[in-house]
Chain A
Amino acid sequence: MSQESIQTDILTRLDTDGSIADTAVLPYASDLILGVLNSLLSKEILTYTAIKGEKWVLTIEGQEVASGGSPEVALFNLIPSDTGFAVADAQKQMGEKAKIAMSNAMSKKWLKKQGDQLVRAVDSVADQVQADLINIQETGAFEDARALQDYKRRKLVSAEKITSYSVQKGERFTTNVQKEATEITAEMLRTGEWKDQTFKKYNFNAEGIQIRGGHLHPLMKVREEFRQIFFELGFEEMPTNQFVESSFWNFDALFQPQQHPARDMHDTFFLKDPAVAGEMPKDYVERVKQVHSKGGYGSIGYGYDWKYTEAEKLILRTHTTAKEFRPVKYFSIDRVFRNETVDATHLAEFHQIEGVIADRGATLGDLIGILYNFFRKLGIEKLRFKPAYNPYTEPSLEIFSWHTGFKKWVEIGNSGMFRPEMLRPLGLPEDVSVIAWGLSLERPTMIKYSIDNIRELLGHKVDLEMVMTNPICRLDKKMGREI
């Protein structure tokens, strides 16, 4: 049935009868009727109100009974009129329906049990259930409420919500509906037709058409914001396109002792192939060995047996901390690897954001000052620093910010001044100090975009719809979890 013919039917009925009390009498699907009504409503040709109603329909089982009869009648017909029938055989023949059939036939006193035999108690039966269901199928209703409840309990019928409409004439009622245009066309402009054309009323509450353009990943949007902040503060981006690192450069060079727990198999990915690094700068390796095992540059060292075989082991880098310094401000945002058990907040890979400043006479006050500048650009004004421990920085400061939503101080990063035992073997002059801080990229992103599970952010389990619909990142504006 075309929309146009439904429209004609409705308008004709309104014209003759003045109104339609209930559209349920019309032989059209409810959603088609609604489409026509809405179209005519927007032209003020009619008005309508919805009538909520209920209709009884047959379940799949109910449909079976309506077409093939009820199980109790089927069972009755199985029993010969003159002799008994074994219960076990009834079960065999009727399968899972036997139980309900028996219980109904017994309660209706059609059959009785004699030992393990079923025998007829009446001569013949009528299938009232089947008749009732056919009735319900046709009318959608049934007079006997108790029987209806019984059929519902037996899961033969179910109630379905239906909506029909009561329709009245509108202010601009007419049976002659002029075709309204939705859009202005080039044709109209050329012919001047737009002057006489009536236009369909817009629904300004409707949503616009969804755009299917290209999209950047939210984590990369947040990365871009951080990069801009670093550029604004005069930082140069470090080359970090080297995932494989030797234990020496990743740990030993940072004055991290060889027995440190971070160097465990449980925390770091070691490599099988290639397994060991090639030749490392000999003199420097010797200086690092000395400062670990015996000390130097004013340090007593760790006093243990430093092993080259431990240092040359190749690993996937666990951080991106720089090891070469001239008076400069460096930053990096790149992937690092930890051999961790994966859960909602931990992945074996994540992005580390790091800022490093190497300068003659750089102070702890400078570190704190630059951190205020950095975090202010993220919209974070209130900071607090807690003394902490880190093998390669001294002092080490955990950075806390005041979370206005949680009403408490939360840790947002780590920072510190690199130890002389790390800097001096590199040949840095005594008056050059290096201050640095780091944080993960995923954590602020999860807060910004209200993402609970890191696996839904990084990795192949990401939801593309999430990538497509997330807003741009403005670190200085509140959004997501921060609100």
Chain B
Amino acid sequence: MPTVNVFKDVLFKALGREYSTEQFEELCFEYGIELEDETSEQEMVKKEQGEEKAKGKSNRGIYRIDVPANRYDLLCAEGLSRALKVYVGNAKPPVYKLVQPAGGKVQKVTVLPETAQIRPHLVCAVLRGITFDQDTYDSFIELQDKLHNNICRKRTLVAIGTHDLDTLKGPFTYEALAPTNIKFVPLNQTKEMNAEELMTFYESDRKLSKFLHIIRDSPVYPVIYDSNRTVLSLPPIINSNHSKIALETKNVFIECTATDITKARVVLNTIVAMFSQYCAEPFTVEPVEIATPNSTSTHRTPDISSRTVEATVGYINKSIGIHITADEVVRYLAKMSLSATLSSSRKSVSVSVPITRSDILHACDVMEDVAIAYGFNKIAKTVPRSITVGAPFPLNKLADFVRRELALSGYTEVLPLILCSHDENYEWLRRKDNGEAVKLANPQTIEFQVVRTSLIQGVLKTISSNKAVALPIKVFEVSDVVFKDESRERKSRNQRNMCVVFASKTSAFETVHGILDRIMAMLNVKLVSPDAAQDGYFIRESDNPTYFPGRCAEVVHKALSIGHLGIVHPEVLQKFEVPFPCTALEINIEPFL
């Protein structure tokens, strides 16, 4: 969840009253945001850089507020206070308007076909006659950062550039050129460099280095020029120093380049909706004409027309489980900054979705807003009508029987992890990698390289970290192992195994054999002789590299091997750093379902 810092005084002014921390916390909770912390610049600097650096910093109160990840309109103080102001009934939501420039000629950008190779989409807008002060200017920069980190997915999907329009001369072109052919002075630098040099230059930059990979290996880099061939920006890396905006900037040119056009529109709409508030005529936006390569006609951005979503009053009431009238629905939606009109039959509402609410995809989103405005905690508690019968998953029930019998037999349950290293699953158990294990592509450590194909390694690891416990150590695990299985859609299957290990001063084959017999007896599986054609189980001598030669048997059930028991090979014990003899049993319990 993104966190937004808002000055308390700004917020309280918007809300028309002061709030105590508890009151504000309550308001946030009901609306679906969370008051994370109450602080000030001084306190934040103190926490991060120490008392000395904090001296002289402002102690103006700041609320740190967590907002939902899909509400981009709440990512800045402007949007957050606007939404809460409407929610508490202190204002009506603004109506955004497109306006033509004074001369009547809108700015124009031509998108050249080469951009399709690297970053095909562009949307732009102009904010005229803007008045920033330090707070609003900071907020403007901060919002771009927040958008870059969230919806823009660290600039991969969308990158924003904002420019002082008065330093530029349209029309503009959006091009894709070889890096060495792009030359400009990057933002806050003094030296001109080409794009290739620029990449090297920013390699060590803490903030920008993480974006370089987005275009670095491409033969062409995206770039925006004005009619004098002045570079505006090299998206998604950096703007040029020439057109940089400042506190005094009056006219702002906004460009968003993207690989995802839907998100580019949302980002541009969010910026203009938030900051058109400071335009000479508030909430007005000047469009920009975009000429795209594949179309003979041009189109204008931003598109600030509102969408309409229909929802019946019956659907809303039935989904939430309340009984409110159509008028109440309209009133609740107004609290959530959504203007709705009733149909003539008064059975449904038509909601006009403003550009700030890209999160509304379906009538269910409208229903949720009604529920929030109504108050989740005021909804009457009911229970579902259908009668149902409880039942366990049969395999879990079987596993629980086996677990209980093992515990009743004096063994202690352990619960190691399911992921392990490749060595633990193979080499340390003296097994060859036969390709049956599922392997991970992106583990952060070698502890998590494969999904285990047996339980014994985890049990041995547990014994190894419990060497101080009095001998004998008698432990078990009943859980899943995973094998690759080409015949299935997920190319793999789980198998429920049972593993018992007895660790003591001497090996104890008969003891563990006794556990096998006990579990089989409890599962009502008969011991049969190897040559008899009866259903049942028996054990026979077997070779298994994990176990000591001549001290290993396989467990056979209905003519199929279901696992092994034996004295663990000393080389295995050495790898797992277990200093005393271990006798183990591991079988698949699924045949007993």
Contacts and interface: CB of A to CB of B under 8 A. Distances in A.
B417 A459 contact: yes
Nearest to A246: B490
Contacts of A435: 384
Interface in B142-177: 153, 157
Contact of B262 (A224, A302, A342): A302
20 contacts: A216-B403, A231-B392, A241-B395, A241-B496, A243-B492, A259-B153, A270-B442, A274-B486, A274-B492, A277-B489, A278-B491, A298-B363, A302-B262, A329-B390, A337-B419, A365-B379, A388-B32, A421-B362, A464-B462, A464-B473
A277 B491 contact: yes
A389 B71 contact: yes
A232 interface: yes
A238 B395 CA distance: 11
Q: Return the 8 tightest CB-CB contacts between A and B, nearest first.
A: A387-B32, A365-B321, A363-B321, A389-B68, A303-B262, A214-B407, A460-B461, A274-B491
Interface in A347-399: 347-349, 357, 359-366, 368-370, 372-373, 384-389, 391, 394-397
Nearest to B408: A214
A396 to B, nearest CB: 8
A220 B390 CA distance: 20
Interface string B390-409: 11110110001001101111
B191 interface: no
B415 A365 contact: no
Interface of A: 212-217, 219-220, 224, 227, 230-246, 259, 261, 265, 269-280, 295, 297-305, 314, 316, 327-329, 332, 335, 337, 339, 341-342, 347-349, 357, 359-366, 368-370, 372-373, 384-389, 391, 394-397, 417, 419-421, 433, 435, 458-465, 467-468
Given A214-B410, A272-B440, A304 B321 contact: no
Interface stretch (B6-14, B217-225, B443-451, B555-563): B443-451
A217 B440 contact: no
B160 to A, nearest CB: 17
A214 B361 CA distance: 55
A315 to B, nearest CB: 9
Contacts of B389: 234, 236
Contact of B482 (A244, A246, A369, A397): A244
A350 to B, nearest CB: 10
Nearest to B317: A363
B376 A220 contact: no
A468 B71 contact: no
A interface, by DSSP: helix, strand, loop or mixed?
A: mixed
Contacts of B59: none
Given A395-B372, A462-B462, A464-B466, A220 B413 contact: yes
Contact of A348 (B34, B377, B419, B488): B419
B382 interface: yes
B157 A386 contact: no
B415 A462 contact: yes
Contacts of B451: 243-244, 316
Nearest to A305: B260
A370 B382 CA distance: 7
A366 B391 contact: no
Contact of B413 (A234, A316, A467): A467
Contacts of A238: 393
A341 B260 CA distance: 30
Nearest to B70: A389
A342 to B, nearest CB: 8
B414 A460 contact: yes
B31 interface: yes
Contact of B458 (A277, A339, A460): A460
B390 A458 contact: no
A368 B490 contact: no
B380 interface: yes
Contacts of A278: 486, 488-491
B376 A460 contact: no
With most chain B CB atoms within 10 A of its CB, the pick from A295, A386, A462 is: A386
A388 B32 CA distance: 6
B490 A244 contact: yes
Nearest to B360: A300
B69 A389 contact: yes
B393 A245 contact: no
Given A244-B451, A270-B442, A389-B71, 9 more contacts: A214-B410, A274-B491, A278-B489, A279-B489, A335-B418, A341-B444, A395-B364, A420-B362, A460-B464
Nearest to A249: B490
B376 A368 contact: yes
Interface in B442-501: 442-445, 448, 451, 458, 461-462, 464-466, 469, 473-475, 480, 482, 484, 486, 488-494, 496
Contacts of A360: 385-386
B102 interface: no
Nearest to B392: A237
Interface residues of B, number: 100
Given A244-B491, A274-B492, A277-B491, A465 B469 contact: yes
Contacts of B377: 384-385
B418 A349 contact: yes
With most chain A CB atoms within 10 A of its CB, the pick from B70, B388, B469 is: B388
Nearest to A361: B318
Contacts of A212: 410
B416 A271 contact: no
Contacts of A327: 386, 388
B201 to A, nearest CB: 27
A275 B441 CA distance: 8
B333 interface: no
A242 B386 contact: no
B533 interface: no
Contacts of A394: 362, 364-365, 367-368
B157 A366 contact: no
B439 A231 contact: no
A304 B490 contact: no
Contact of A386 (B34, B260, B365, B417): B34
A349 B69 contact: no
Given A329-B384, A464-B412, A339 B68 contact: no
Nearest to B67: A389
Contact of B382 (A341, A366, A396, A460): A366
Contact of B415 (A239, A348, A363, A458): A458
Contacts of B30: 386-387
Contacts of B260: 259, 304-305
Contacts of B488: 278
Contacts of A337: 418-419
A274 B466 contact: no
B388 A329 contact: yes
A347 B444 contact: no
Contacts of B521: none
B415 to A, nearest CB: 5
B32 A364 contact: no
B413 A215 contact: yes
B592 interface: no
Given A365-B381, A460-B414, A269 B443 contact: yes
A386 B416 contact: no
Given A366-B382, A385-B376, A220 B403 contact: yes
Contacts of A421: 361-362
A21 to B, nearest CB: 42
A89 B133 CA distance: 80
A359 B384 contact: yes
A265 B34 CA distance: 28
Contacts of A215: 407, 412-413
With most chain B CB atoms within 10 A of its CB, the pick from A217, A337, A364, A435 is: A364
Contact of B494 (A241, A299, A458): A241
B320 interface: yes
Contacts of A368: 376, 379, 381
Nearest to A363: B321
Given A364-B321, A461-B465, A464-B466, A230 B417 contact: no
